[in-house]
Amino acid sequence: MRCKTLKKTINMKTIFFFLLVLCAPRLYAQKPLPVVYLPENLTIHFISPEPIQYVDISAKELTGDLPLKNVLRLKLRDSLQSFKGSVITVAGEKFIAQYRLLPGYTGVATEINIMPEDMHPLDISNIGLSQNQLKGLALNLIAKSPDKRMEKVKAFGIKGQLNHVYTVGDYIFLDISYRNKTNLKYDIAELRFRIDDKKVTKAANNQSVEIKPEFVLFTPPAFTKNYRNIFVFKKMSFPGNKVLRIELSEQQLSGRIITLSISYQDILDADILPN
C-alpha cells in the first residue's frame, strides 16, 4: 500500500514538472509590442506625459527629432516601399516604452499618445520626482487657500508674501504670492532666487549665490492685481547668517523691484506635503 502511494506521488510530481516545462515559455514570454503604422509622406508624433530623455531608432530609413520636450517627431527618409518595419524606444524620466513600426496606409493615426499600459517603470536612483509629478503636487497646493503667511514685504504699492513652505522627499515647495494695490499692471521682467548675507556692509564682500527652481507651476508675463505661484527646489541648506532672497523685478525703466527674504528657519519649519 505504501509503495502504491509513493508511486502515485512520484507520478503526480512528474506530471506537474512536465506541465511547468510546457507552460514556462508562456509564463515568461515578453508582452507583444504595440504596433504603430507609419504612413507614407506623412509625419507621426509620439506625445509623452513626461519630458523625453532618450530615443532609439533602430532603422536607417527613419529620421526623428524632438521639436518639444515631450514630443517625438518621426518620418521616413525615402519611400514606404523600402521600409520593412522597425522598433522604436522612447524613455521619459520615469518610464521606457517600445513600439513596433510597420508600413502603413492612408488614414492611419499620426498622433500617438504614450499610454500607461505601454510604459515600463524605470528604477533610476536619485532621479527624484518627474516634472509631471511635481506639477500634480503643485496644482494640489495652489488649490488650497494660503494659511500661514510666514514672511511679508511691502514696496511701491506691491505686497509680497511667503504663504507656506512644504517638503516631500528631497524637494521644497515655496507658496509665494504678490498683490498689486496700484492701478498699474505689473509686467514681470524676471524672478530671481539668491542666497545672500543677512547684513551687507561696505567693508565686507557680499557673496551671493543664485539658485534655480527645479519646477515653476506658472509663467505669466504680467499680473494686474494678484499673482500666486509654486516654486520647487531641491533640498537646500545655508548658514544662519544668510537668507534666501526672492527678487521680483518689473520690465519698465523705472521698474519696481520687490525683494522678499526667507530665513533658513522658515525652511526648517516646512510642513509635510499633504496628500
CATH number assigned to the domain covering 35-126: 2.60.40
Query: Is the distance from CB of 186 to CB of 180 less than 8 angstroms?
Result: yes
Residue 205 pLDDT:
56
Say yes or no to pLDDT of 203 above 50: no
Choosing among 2.60.60, 3.40.630, 2.60.40, 1.10.10, the CATH entry for 135-272 is 2.60.40
The confidence score (pLDDT) of residue 17 equals: 38
Residue 249 confidence (pLDDT) above 70: yes
pLDDT at 24 over 60: no
What share of the chain in percent tops pLDDT 90?
40
Residue 150 has pLDDT above 80, yes or no: yes
- Neighbouring-strand partners of residue 33: none
3-state SS track over the chain: CHHHHHHHHHHHHHHHHHHHHHHHHHHHCCCCCCEEEECCCCCEEEECCCCCCEEEECCCCEEEEEEECCEEEEEECCCHHHCCCEEEEEECCCEEEEEEEEECCCCCCCEEECCHHHCEECCCCCCCCCHHHHHHHHHHHHCCCCCCCCEEEEECCEEEEEEEEEEECCEEEEEEEEEECCCCCEEEEEEEEEEEECCCCCCCCCCCEEECCCEECCCCCEECCEEEEEEEEECCCCCCCEEEEEEEEECCCCCCEEEEEECHHHHHCCEECCC
pLDDT value of position 28? 37
C-alpha cell at 109: 493615426
Mean pLDDT calculated for residue range 70-82: 83
pLDDT of residue 116: 85
pLDDT grade for 176, boundaries at 50, 70 and 90: very high
Q: Which of 47-51, 69-73, 251-255 has the lowest mean pLDDT?
A: 251-255
Residue spans per domain, the chain:
35-126, 135-272
Whether 135-272 and 35-126 are alike in CATH topology: the answer is: yes
Q: In this predicted model, what pLDDT tens digit does every residue of 105-134 receive, in sequence order? A: 778 888 999 998 898 877 655 567 888 889
pLDDT surpasses 90 at 209: no
